[in-house]
Amino acid sequence: MFAVTVTQTDPDNPLAGLTLGERPEPKVPDGWTTVSVRAAALNHHDLWTLKGVGIRQDRLPIVLGCDAAGVDEDGNEVIVHGVIGTGADETLDPKRSLLSELHDGTFAERVAVPRRNLVPKPAALSFEHAACLPTAWLTAYRMLFDKAGLEPGSTVLVQGAGGGVATAVIALGRAAGYRVWATSRSEAKRERAKELGADQVFEPGARLPERVDAVMESVGQATWDHSLKSLKPGGRIVVCGATSGPAPAADLNRVFFLQLSVVGSTMGTRDQLQRLAVFLEQTGLRPVVDRTLPLTEARDGFAALHEGDIFGKIVFTN
């Protein structure tokens, strides 16, 4: 079958290890099944893997991709939950992994997954939109509706509008009745964020009209100081990533004096993915897709993500 794999890692030239071509059919352990992939979404996780982050060299070559929507062996349209783990909250399993870390991922014609990881795809959702949900949109859903602890009408600041998680938070927040503010270095992306539902947009580090209830943070080091200074006393930062670096100045005096909370959030549960799909079905909300490419042209999608010239998700189709 055709697949997109990582055959070597290089932090300076990640695309050097991206290989497109034939791979063996997936092996199916007991309790697992196969899904014929119709659409799969690209994530920063895939780019980090090519850089050598979070992947052991003895795992190479391995098929990339965490997200997919397709058809199972019984002909059902399904969404694949990419977290491989056990327990009521598989994200808390210390031995958890994502597809493409220990097991071949979704950038292939077929992928093997545990049966419990399949979620019914609502008929109203296209395969392309459904494929955007398991990583970026599920992460955003959990950050906003679980970890932030806010009621609708609260004000949320989203750092780095344009990325998959950030655009998802803006869209979900707007649909659920939050007041959403967003930042971006790009004027074009700030305008796109407003079209998506942001009430106000700002340049990074800009002084805000008032302090916010919570900040949704995926940028990390470059925006951390602004995130802390933007919070009301008792406010909360929900952190799901650190694309600009993981080690900012903590500013602990501000944290304890204003009684701020810093909460980590990683992915979400299978049940949350199912509720997210229903939320989109009921509201009519759909993920922003930057571009759709056949899987055979995956290199172009990786190059666009690497350059940062995207707004929303890049989706590959079979």
Is 276 among the domain residues?
no
Give the count of domains, the chain.
2
pTM of this structure? 0.94
Q: Does residue 275 sit within a domain?
A: no
Q: What residues have CB less than 8 Å from 127, skipping those under 6 apart?
A: 38, 39, 69, 70, 77, 121, 317
Identify whether residues 128 and 99 lie together within a single domain. Answer: yes
Does residue 208 form part of some domain?
yes
Q: Does residue 89 fall inside a structural domain?
A: yes
CA distance 89 to 10: 33
pLDDT of 243: 83
β-pair type (118-120, 77-80): antiparallel
Confidence at residue 237, expressed as pLDDT on a 0 to 100 scale = 98
Strand partners, 278: none
Whether residue 118 lies inside any domain: the answer is yes
Domain assignment present for 272:
no
Mean pLDDT calculated for residue range 302-311:
90
Residues 80 and 117 in one domain: yes
Which residue segment(s) compose the domain that 172 sits in?
Answer: 137-264
* pLDDT tier for residue 269 given thresholds of 50, 70 and 90: very high
Q: Are residue 154 and residue 126 in the same domain, yes or no? A: no
Whether 309 has a pLDDT exceeding 90, the answer reads no
Residue 312: pLDDT over 90: no
The pLDDT of residue 310 is: 84
Residues 114 and 211 in one domain: no
Whether residues 219 and 156 fall in one domain? yes
Q: Write the CATH number for 30.
A: 3.90.180.10
Asked if residue 95 has pLDDT above 90, the reply is yes
pLDDT, averaged across the chain: 96
How would you classify residue 87: left for phi > 0, otherwise alpha for psi between -120 and 50, otherwise beta? left
